[in-house]
Structure 1
Amino acid sequence: MTEPAAAPARPLRRDVAAALLVLVVWLVPISEGAIQAAPAAWWPTIVRDLGSISCLFRHRPESVSYYFVQVLRSGRREWEAIDERALFPMEPFGYRSRFDRFMERFGHRSDAARLDLARWLAARDRELDPARSPVVAVRFLAGAQRIDRARPPAGRWHKPDPGAAPVRVLSSHDLRESDRKDMSEETGKSR
């Protein structure tokens, strides 16, 4: 007599869970990105990044955003532009620096992110050149350059000169006040 055929093994729950995770977190956003050029805005940022299809643009941009950062040094009254190339030496996004990418992604809408960046800029400026007077305030400027369909941009894009370009102030951060506030909060917590 022959032995009965063994029943096929059932998949483990963890295997099913892993398959569902891949399906929901990767395949669905990729499919949606293929149809709509990008996953929907309601997906978390990390899922949108994983599901975006690069170099597939269904709508041309109407303008190009640009950002500047200026500092106010101790004992001075005029804001001065800082050398972004010294603070953000890498340009992993074409001709835009990491500063431009950060501002486009988070900084233009988050005051807390800009405050953190302002603190880092002041500390990094001090590390790079301790002989200069310290940065006591930082302000972020934003502008947009419209793209003229009749005369589209040619060649490499350059950020316009901050003095010649129309800009608006996103925020100003007086680091002296935030340091005092942070110190008073820390002493209040320790009591």
Structure 2
Amino acid sequence: MTIEENEAQIHSLQYSQQMAKNRENYYAGLVSTGLIDAERNQLEHTEKANKLREWAQAAQALGSVAALIPQLGIGFVGFKPSVKAEFGGLQVYNMMQSAAQVLGFFAGRYEHKAQLDAINAGHRRREMEWQHQQQLAQQEQAHIQKQMLAAEIRLAMAKAELHRHDCMPGWWDKYPISISNRIEWLPIWPKRQSVRLGTKQASKMPFL
């Protein structure tokens, strides 16, 4: 493995490490930040709506109990037109029902706001995730470029090695060894032949 290939591999590993670090920082930031504003508003509006619903139900319950109160009549008799009025559980029941409807109306408003907050929060979360994925994609492109550079270096080395072997057919015929052992012997063959044949004859080998 050449120095250039080692450098390309180191750069590729550094990019991989940086990508992993960025993912760690992204999720650590989500944990430390907690809820975003839209999510907090959703919880707040939902809580208010629940309280108003509880008050509306309480008003309906009180109205049902008040309906048991008997009606009391008040009037003036002896002249015309006569005046009569009644007040009792029926009137209290009607007032409580009206109050419950008003409370339910405001509860519905807060529920609607909570739904909008949930939608906005979902959009914001997706936007944050898309931005993160965009950054990772940019880093992955640089990582792939480093991997391609390392692959190109290996390819160039393989072509150079193949070319060097193709330039030595006569040498194999002059100094034959078994075909199965040629690749294994290639790195050490010149040294062995230098000792066996002598420096003068070994220097004539094609790759020395």
Fold in common (TM above 0.5)? no
Shorter chain as denominator, the TM-score bin is: under 0.3
Specify the structure having the higher radius of gyration (Cα).
Answer: 2
Give the TM-score normalised by the residue count of structure 2. 0.17
Higher relative strand content: 1
Higher relative helix content: 2
Structure with bigger RCO (C-alpha 8 Å, 6+ apart): 2
